[in-house]
C-alpha cells in the first residue's frame, strides 16, 4: 500500500489542444471487457492510499474508504448517498491528464481506475460490471462532474473538457456506482460488462 500525495497538483497541466490530441487514445478504450488498473482508498478527506488489494462491500463500498463517514449534501439528512458509493474513472483519460505515476492518478479522488469505455451509451445507469472473480458493481444515475479541486490539480482546460457536452457524455470525469456483490479486487483484474440488472440479480 502506498500513501499518495495530498493537497497538491499533478506534474503537468495540459492545454486544450494537447488534451484534444490525446482523446483519440481514450476513445479506443474497450467496450465489453476491460481491466482494473488501479484501486485507491480514501481514508479521510484529501488522503489517498494506493492498494495492491481492496475489498468491495455492499454496505461499506470500498472497505476502509471514508465514503460512509463523509456524508453527502445530496441527501436530506446529510448521510452518505447510496448512489455515490464508488467512483470509477477511465484510466486512459487520467493517464492523459496526470501522466504515469499512480499517485498522481489518485489525486483525482476516484477509487477505481479502469481501462473501459465509460460512455453513457456503453454503460447506461443500471448496467452491472463484474470486477475480478467475485465483485459486481452497478452504474448509478448520479452525475460525476469535475470540482474546483480537479481544476486545481489537473488544470482549468481539463476541467472545462470534462464539463463539456462531449466530456459528460464520455464520462471523462468518471461515473458513480454501487456494490451489489461483495468481493476482493486487485489491479490487473478483468472487468466484464454484464448488462442491465434484472430480477434474477441481487
Residue 201, in any domain of the structure:
no
Residue 119 in domain: yes
Q: What pLDDT sits at residue 69?
A: 73
User: CA 178 to CA 56: how far, in whole Å?
Assistant: 10
Residue with cell string 469535475? 146
**What pLDDT was estimated at residue 200?**
46
**% residues pLDDT > 90 (the chain):** 73
Q: Could you give the 3-state DSSP secondary structure of residue 129?
A: strand
Could you give the number of structural domains in the chain?
A: 1
Among candidate residues 161, 134, 140, the one with its CA nearest the CA of residue 150? 161
pLDDT at 113: 98
In a domain, 202, yes or no: no
DSSP 116-131: S---TTTS-TTEEEEE
Which pLDDT belongs to residue 3? 57
**Res 101 pLDDT > 70:** yes
Q: What is the mean pLDDT of residues 9-25?
A: 90
Is residue 199 situated within a structural domain?
no
For the segment 154-182, the average pLDDT, to the nearest whole number, is 95
Residue 99 clears pLDDT 80, i.e. is over it: yes
Which of the pair, 9 or 95, is modelled with greater confidence?
95
Tell whether 161 is covered by a domain: yes
Whose CA is closest to 86, among 199, 198, 191? 191
What percentage of the chain exceeds 70 in pLDDT? 87
Separation between Cα atoms, residue 6 and residue 41, nearest integer Å: 13
The count of other CB atoms within 10 Å of the CB of residue 31 is 13
Nearest Cα neighbor of 166 from 15, 9, 16 is 16
Q: What is the mean pLDDT of the chain?
A: 89
Q: What are phi and psi of 144, to 5 degrees?
A: -115, 105
Q: How far apart are CA 21 and CA 26, in angstroms?
A: 10
Q: Tell me, what's the pLDDT at 199?
A: 40
Predicted local distance difference test score (pLDDT) of residue 78: 62
Asked if the structure places residue 115 within a domain, the reply is yes
Q: Residue 108 sits in which domain range?
A: 2-72+79-194
Per-residue pLDDT tens digits for 50-95: 999 999 999 999 999 988 777 566 656 666 678 899 999 999 999 9
CATH number, domain at 185? 2.40.33.20
In a domain, 142, yes or no: yes
Work out the pLDDT band at 162, boundaries 50, 70, 90.
Answer: very high
Mean pLDDT, rounded, for 176-201: 89
Strands 86-90, 112-115: pairing kind: parallel
Q: Does residue 100 sit within a domain?
A: yes
Strand partners, 54: 185
How far apart are alpha carbons 88 and 115 in whole angstroms? 10
Q: Report pLDDT for 76.
A: 65
Amino acid at each position: 500500500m502506498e500513501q499518495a500525495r495530498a493537497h497538491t497538483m499533478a506534474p503537468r497541466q495540459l492545454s486544450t489542444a494537447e488534451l484534444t490530441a490525446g482523446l483519440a487514445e481514450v476513445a479506443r478504450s474497450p467496450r465489453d471487457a476491460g481491466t482494473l488498473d488501479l484501486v485507491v482508498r480514501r481514508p479521510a478527506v484529501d488522503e489517498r492510499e494506493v492498494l495492491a488489494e481492496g475489498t468491495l462491500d455492499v454496505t461499506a463500498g470500498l472497505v476502509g474508504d471514508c465514503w460512509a463517514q463523509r456524508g453527502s449534501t445530496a441527501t436530506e439528512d446529510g448521510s452518505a448517498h447510496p448512489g455515490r458509493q464508488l467512483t470509477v474513472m477511465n484510466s486512459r483519460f487520467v493517464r492523459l491528464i496526470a501522466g504515469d505515476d499512480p499517485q498522481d492518478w489518485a489525486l483525482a479522488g476516484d477509487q477505481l481506475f479502469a481501462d473501459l469505455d465509460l460512455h453513457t451509451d456503453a454503460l447506461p445507469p443500471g448496467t452491472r460490471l463484474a470486477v475480478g472473480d467475485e465483485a459486481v458493481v452497478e452504474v448509478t444515475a448520479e452525475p460525476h462532474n469535475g470540482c474546483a479541486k480537479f481544476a486545481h490539480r489537473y488544470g482549468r482546460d481539463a476541467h472545462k473538457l470534462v464539463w463539456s457536452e462531449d466530456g459528460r457524455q464520455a464520462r471523462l470525469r468518471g461515473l458513480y456506482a454501487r456494490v451489489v456483490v461483495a468481493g476482493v479486487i486487485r489491479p490487473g483484474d478483468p472487468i466484464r460488462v454484464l448488462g442491465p440488472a434484472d430480477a434474477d440479480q441481487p
